[in-house]
């Protein structure tokens, strides 16, 4: 099978949640995925949990261990630089994705023209026990209308209603834009 999607997971002290995150990635209905996990010098048991989880998972999963703490954006760019796939997904170490997320978004991107850079979706906001604490991310971001499609720049100027973990993008757009701006916090 062709690997078309890279899911990148930057981790820093994610021991409480990383196993659930990895389980949700492994449970995807779309199987053309490689996973790059980068640990940014965690001081908890993150690395041990990840290494144990990776046993028997195969070559599609790779763990990168930083020797210095570099921060989220630098780690995201390291992952992006190794993503040689058509599509790219960054996922927080404490996020869980539904089983059809990647499959649905790949189908959507493959049905678009070359000017579409990304797709995104709504999310449930959950607490540390996995209980929903908000009916949707759009509402939590105080965006109550139907999210726009097409060129959404003007709507984003008013306020961000897109959660990064909901985005699947065409990797070449991210690379052309220079990746993540490491000057941002």
What is the rounded distance in angstroms from the CA atom of residue 161 to the CA atom of residue 21?
22
What is the rounded distance in angstroms from the CA atom of residue 20 to the CA atom of residue 2?
26
Split at pLDDT 50, 70, 90, the class of 152 is confident
- What is the per-residue pLDDT across 36-76, written as a single tens digit (0 to 9) for each? 999 999 999 999 999 999 999 999 999 999 999 999 999 99
pLDDT score for 137: 67
* Average pLDDT score over the chain: 90
pTM: 0.90
Upper half-sphere CA count for residue 142 (Cβ side, 13 Å): 4
> Looking at the predicted structure, is the pLDDT value of residue 123 above 60?
yes
The larger pLDDT score, comparing residue 24 to residue 148, is at 24
- What is the per-residue pLDDT across 168-184, written as a single tens digit (0 to 9) for each? 999 999 999 999 999 88
pLDDT score for 21: 95
19 three-class SS: helix
What is the rounded distance in angstroms from the CA atom of residue 27 to the CA atom of residue 140?
27
> Looking at the predicted structure, is the pLDDT value of residue 144 above 60?
no
What is the rounded distance in angstroms from the CA atom of residue 92 to the CA atom of residue 125?
13
The dihedral built from the CA positions of residue 163, 164, 166 and 170, taken in this order, carries a sign that is positive
């Amino acid at each position: 099978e062709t690997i078309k999607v890279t899911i990148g997971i930057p981790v820093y002290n994610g021991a409480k949640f990383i196993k659930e995150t990895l389980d949700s990635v492994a449970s995807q209905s779309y199987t053309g995925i490689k996973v790059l996990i980068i640990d940014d010098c965690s001081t908890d048991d993150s690395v041990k949990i990840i290494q144990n989880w990776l046993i028997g998972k195969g070559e599609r999963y790779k763990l990168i261990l930083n020797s210095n703490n570099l921060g989220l954006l630098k780690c995201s760019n390291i992952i992006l630089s190794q993503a040689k796939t058509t599509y790219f997904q960054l996922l927080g170490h404490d996020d869980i994705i539904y089983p059809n997320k990647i499959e649905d978004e790949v189908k959507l991107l493959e049905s678009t023209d070359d000017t579409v850079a990304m797709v995104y979706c709504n999310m449930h906001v959950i607490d540390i026990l996995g209980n929903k604490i908000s009916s949707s991310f759009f509402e939590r971001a105080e965006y109550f209308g139907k999210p726009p499609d097409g060129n959404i720049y003007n709507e984003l100027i008013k306020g961000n209603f897109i959660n990064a973990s909901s985005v699947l993008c065409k990797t070449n757009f991210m690379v052309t834009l220079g990746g993540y701006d490491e000057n941002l916090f």
